[in-house]
Amino acid sequence: MYKRRGKLKVLFIYLGEIKKGYIAQSRIEKNCENCGTKFTPLLSEVSRGKGRFCSKYCALPRGKKHYLYKGTTAQDRRKRYKEKYPERVKANQKIADLVRRGKIKKLPCEKCGNIKVEAHHNDYSKPLEINWLCRKHHIEEDKKIGTRTGDFK
């Protein structure tokens, strides 16, 4: 049953009976601020500044609102990295593609023998000349030759 309260169209939902009369909670129709779907939060929640999202998932902060936001989104950083280092991206994609197809097999780390390895390029213009190194030794090797960029911001 809908009633008008000023400018708001309020939906009264009767939750159950008590000996004399009903327990009534007034609700209002709203659109979710994130996805735009219609939902009916309690009027008391709306008056307290809540009831803006249809679900907990929609209420999660994203993008600039997220507490880990560093001035740009991860998508922006990936795009800038691809623009700044196209040769590196192509070399890494080529190796990843060959490993996926089974043309190249991953070998243990050349320094410590660890099985969890990454492909290290000494020269990105020669994408098939790689050394298989674990994460620790890969970082050390990149620092030696000066290709370690750290966090791309």
| Band of residue 150 on the pLDDT scale cut at 50, 70, 90 | low
For residues 66 and 141, which has the higher predicted lDDT (pLDDT)? Answer: 141
Q: Which amino acid is at 15?
A: L
For 135, the 3-state DSSP assignment is helix
Pairing outcome for strands 2-5 and 30-31: unpaired
Find out whether 24 and 43 touch, Cβ atoms under 8 Å. Answer: no
Residue 141, number of CB atoms within 10 A of its CB: 18
Q: Considering the chain, what percentage of its residues have pLDDT values greater than 70? A: 79
